[in-house]
């Protein structure tokens, strides 16, 4: 089979790597890819949202299966467009992807089907939103309703903070013209539950946990994710089962009832609160960096899964997973998530005993250079999380670059 992966980050490198392990795959293309995907696939210089360009490419090259990484491509309608031309594609339609791209859609769905999540109200009026915040206990959680590159959520601990955030979102249209969801603040550890979903069929992946803050000890600004690990020992099997039945399967069934059957990866961003497990958000795609620590644990052939979901079939065999634990540490450009320089030479990537997935790299005169905020993720596997963490910290030290930083405590919280 010839497979096209749409996207350019570490998630797509990990997907390409999983595809490479399948005997069914003859050729992999990644659009646009990065310097790492160029080592396992052929990069195609097309933007992930260039739906017409990608469609023309897939038709010209007789691509048998396309796999979509980023939400922007889903929102641009890539799945609808490919399907209407009879091409096989793994991912949800733009309408089903609203479970991620519209917070209000996701919240309404959860309320209607009794899926556990924080109480909320939607607003488009600044004054009304502010009055509602004043009527509830602080902190308040304010979410811009749309894609805001992870920057659309503010936890306001005072009325002044709430005022400033609502002003940005509703009066100054900082992220565009949209609505705001105001929801109750929940407390507890978060984890990610990704499932392959084909209508009401749900095949769970092992749990993972992302680390959103930039620095050790969960300090510093929010980022796209500075590392992840899998499995998640603080979630018991009973709790996982609850989340699978009462959140993931229930949501997949709800989408079918709504006439928007979901196909692809449904990602539950979940929180273990005092009152049980609740949904913080849904994503309509593989998580990044969770994918980089979860897919290496997959024993089954990923092409069979992608194909079954794309074709709307049942899976022939249950999914099989390796028992080992994985830890992935992200190397980010100094300054990220603020402004940062690009073009610093990276050495030692090939000395790492583990998986190295490129996130934002380019090749220049035969050398790998930094080309993004998150640059690469080093992943290690071991029988226990503690060993994987130790190994990962050792291996990450082999990467030499003057302009990178990383966290040293990825997964530490999970180790007793």
Q: Which stretch binds ligand AMP (CB under 6 A): 90-98, 179-187, 239-247, 339-347?
A: 179-187
End-to-end Cα distance, the chain: 45
- As measured in angstroms, the least distance from the Cβ of 88 to ligand GLY is 24
Q: Which does 301 bind (CB under 5 to 8 A by kind): ligand GLY, ligand AMP, none?
A: none
Among 36, 69, 178, 225, binds ligand GLY (CB under 6 A): 225
| 292 vs 302: CA distance, rounded Å | 14
Binding partner of 186, given ligand AMP, ligand GLY, none, CB within 5-8 angstroms per partner class: ligand AMP
Which one among 65, 180, 186, 327 touches ligand AMP, defined by CB under 6 A? Answer: 186
- Are 356 and 349 contacting, i.e. CB atoms less than 8 angstroms apart? yes
305-311 long-range Cβ contacts below 8 angstroms, 24+ apart: 305/196, 305/203, 306/65, 306/67, 306/90, 307/65, 307/88, 308/198, 309/90, 309/196, 309/197, 309/198, 309/263, 309/264, 310/65, 310/88, 310/89, 310/90, 310/263, 311/88
- Residue 333 engages ligand GLY in binding (rule: CB under 6 A): no
Is 132 a binding residue for ligand AMP by CB under 6 A? The answer is no
Nearest to 327 by CA among 405, 391, 400: 391
Bridge partners for 90 per DSSP: 67
Asked if 161 touches ligand AMP (CB under 6 A), the answer is: no
Q: Say which residue the tokens 């291996």 belong to.
A: 395
How far apart are CB 101 and ligand GLY at their closest, in Å?
12
| Nearest distance in Å: CB 181, ligand GLY | 17
Radius of gyration, alpha carbons of the chain: 21
Point out which residues pair with 219 in neighbouring strands: 215
Q: Which does 141 bind (CB under 5 to 8 A by kind): ligand AMP, ligand GLY, none?
A: ligand AMP
Q: Give me 165's structure tokens.
A: 């955030």
Distance CA 107, CA 128 (A): 19
Edge-to-edge order in the sheet of strand 153-156: 120-123, 180-184, 140-144, 153-156
Q: Which of 376, 385, 410 is nearest to 326 (CA)?
A: 385
- To ligand AMP, the closest distance from the beta carbon of 274 in angstroms equals 13
- Which of 152/328 has CB closer to ligand AMP? 152
Q: Which of 288, 292, 301, 395 binds ligand GLY (CB under 6 A)?
A: 288
- For ligand GLY, the closer of residues 369 and 392 by Cβ is 392
Torsion angle of the four alpha carbons 161, 166, 168, 171, in this order, in degrees rounded to the nearest 10: -140
CA angle 356, 358, 360 (to 5 degrees): 155
Residues 240-269 that bind ligand GLY (CB under 6 A): none
Sign of the four-CA dihedral 383, 387, 388, 389: positive
Q: Which of 37, 283, 326, 361 binds ligand GLY (CB under 6 A)?
A: 283
Question: C-beta of 372: minimal distance to ligand AMP in Å?
Answer: 20
Size of the site for ligand AMP (CB under 6 A): 12
Asked if 69 is part of the footprint of ligand GLY (rule: CB under 6 A), the reply reads: no
Residue 283 C-beta: closest distance to ligand AMP, Å: 8
Chosen from ligand AMP, ligand GLY, none, partner binding at 288 (C-beta under 5 to 8 Å by type):
ligand GLY
The residue sitting closest to ligand GLY, measured at its beta carbon, is: 287
- Contact call for residue 185 and ligand AMP (CB under 6 A): yes
> Which residue lies nearer to ligand AMP by CB, 89 or 194?
194
The tokens 């997973």 sit on which residue? Answer: 321
Of 248 and 396, nearer to ligand AMP (C-beta) is 248
From the list ligand AMP, ligand GLY, none, pick the one residue 287 interacts with, judged by a Cβ distance below 5 to 8 Å according to partner type: ligand GLY
Give the residue with the Cβ less far from ligand GLY, 63 or 106: 106
Q: Which residues of the chain form contacts with ligand GLY (CB under 6 A)?
A: 210, 225, 283, 287-288, 290
């Amino acid at each position: 089979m010839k497979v096209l992966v749409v996207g350019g980050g570490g998630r797509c490198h990990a997907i390409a790597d999983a595809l490479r392990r399948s005997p069914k795959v003859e050729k992999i293309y990644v659009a646009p890819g990065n310097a790492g995907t160029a080592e396992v696939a052929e990069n195609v210089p097309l933007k992930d949202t260039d739906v017409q360009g990608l469609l023309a490419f897939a038709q010209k090259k007789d691509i048998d299966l396309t796999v979509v990484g980023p939400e922007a491509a889903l929102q641009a309608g890539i799945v609808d467009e490919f399907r209407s031309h009879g091409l096989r594609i793994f991912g949800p339609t733009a309408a089903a992807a609203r479970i991620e791209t519209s917070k209000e859609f996701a919240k309404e769905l959860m309320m209607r089907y009794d899926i556990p999540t924080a109480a909320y109200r939607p607003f488009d009026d600044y004054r009304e939103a502010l009055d509602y915040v004043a009527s509830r206990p602080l902190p308040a959680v304010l979410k811009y309703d749309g894609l805001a590159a992870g920057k659309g959520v503010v936890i306001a601990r005072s009325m002044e903070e709430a005022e400033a955030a609502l002003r940005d979102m509703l009066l100054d249209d900082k992220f565009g013209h949209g609505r705001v969801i105001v929801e109750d603040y929940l407390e507890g550890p978060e984890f990610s539950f990704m499932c392959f979903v084909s209508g009401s069929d749900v095949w769970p992946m092992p749990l993972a946990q992302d680390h959103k803050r930039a620095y050790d000890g969960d300090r510093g600004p929010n980022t796209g994710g500075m590392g992840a690990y899998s499995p998640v020992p603080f979630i018991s099997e009973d709790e996982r089962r609850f989340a699978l039945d009462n959140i993931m399967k229930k949501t997949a069934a709800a989408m079918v009832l709504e006439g928007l059957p979901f196909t692809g990866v449904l990602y539950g961003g979940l929180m273990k609160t005092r009152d049980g497990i609740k949904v913080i958000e849904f994503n309509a795609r593989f998580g990044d960096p969770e994918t980089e620590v979860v897919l290496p644990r997959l024993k089954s052939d990923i092409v069979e899964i992608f194909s079954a979901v794309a074709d709307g079939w049942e899976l022939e065999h249950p999914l099989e997973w390796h028992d080992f634990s994985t830890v992935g540490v992200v190397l980010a450009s100094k300054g990220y998530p603020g402004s940062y320089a690009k073009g610093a030479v990276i050495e030692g990537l090939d000395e790492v005993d583990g998986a190295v997935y490129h996130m934002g790299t380019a090749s220049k005169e035969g050398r790998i250079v930094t080309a993004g905020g998150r640059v690469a993720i080093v992943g290690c596997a071991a029988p226990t999380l503690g060993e994987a963490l130790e190994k990962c910290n050792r291996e990450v030290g082999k990467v030499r670059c003057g302009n990178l930083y990383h966290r040293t405590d990825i997964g530490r919280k999970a180790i007793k």
